[in-house]
């Protein structure tokens, strides 16, 4: 898949890489996106962006939250929430000044060797602070109730 432009909501767009599962630049506004979509297929790219929320050809329409789920856009490749991602990648200055808190980490599920895990912690069980020892790739097994709830929501 490589690179695509994705719509983060409002007037915010960003170039995304599926190789690193993170942005490869800073937030663009609509005018900057139109300028970036040069070439023979520019109108096709803009049309897909408006219709699907992204410029990939082989991916159906998705919300900004779906597009950035399971990202590696945070410090030490942790998964950031959409709000934290928008703050961090707003500009080079914002990237440098980004204040990272546990609420900026988006827990997600992972399937490994027949077991479903939360990574890096259960929702609502974030540590009070992030330290140099915080493991953003820890896996916490789902309880039977959590698995049943996720499966039912499916």
At 57-116, the pLDDT tens digits run 999 999 999 999 989 999 999 999 999 999 999 999 999 999 989 999 999 888 888 888
pLDDT at 142 over 60: yes
13 and 67 housed in the same domain: yes
* Residue 2 CB burial class (10 angstroms; 0-12, 13-18, ≥19): exposed
72 and 116 housed in the same domain: no
Is 51 contained in some domain? yes
Tell me which residue range forms the domain holding 23: 3-97
Whole-number percent of the chain with pLDDT over 90: 65
Locus of tokens 């159906």 = 60
119 and 46 housed in the same domain: no
119 and 93 housed in the same domain: no
> In the β-sheet with 22-23, what is the strand arrangement from edge to edge?
3-9, 12-17, 22-23
**R_g of the chain, CA atoms, integer Å:** 17
Q: How many domains does the chain have?
A: 2
Is 52 contained in some domain? yes
Is 64 contained in some domain? yes
Last residue of a domain, which of 53, 73, 97? 97
Tokens linked to 83: 């709000």
Q: Is the pTM of this model over 0.95?
A: no
């Amino acid at each position: 898949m490589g690179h695509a432009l994705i719509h983060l909501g409002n007037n915010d767009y960003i170039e995304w890489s599926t190789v690193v599962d993170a942005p490869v630049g800073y937030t663009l506004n609509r005018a900057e996106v139109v300028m970036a979509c040069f070439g023979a297929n520019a109108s096709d790219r803009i049309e897909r962006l408006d219709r699907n929320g992204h410029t990939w050809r082989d991916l159906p329409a998705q919300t900004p939250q779906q597009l950035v789920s399971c990202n590696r856009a945070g410090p030490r490749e942790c998964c950031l929430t959409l709000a934290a991602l928008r703050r961090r990648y707003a500009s080079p200055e914002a990237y440098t000044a980004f204040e990272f808190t546990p609420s900026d980490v988006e827990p997600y599920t992972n399937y490994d060797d027949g077991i479903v895990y939360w990574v890096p912690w259960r929702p609502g069980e974030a540590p009070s602070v992030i330290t140099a020892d915080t493991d953003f790739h820890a896996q916490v097994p789902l309880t039977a109730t959590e698995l049943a709830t996720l499966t039912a929501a499916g």
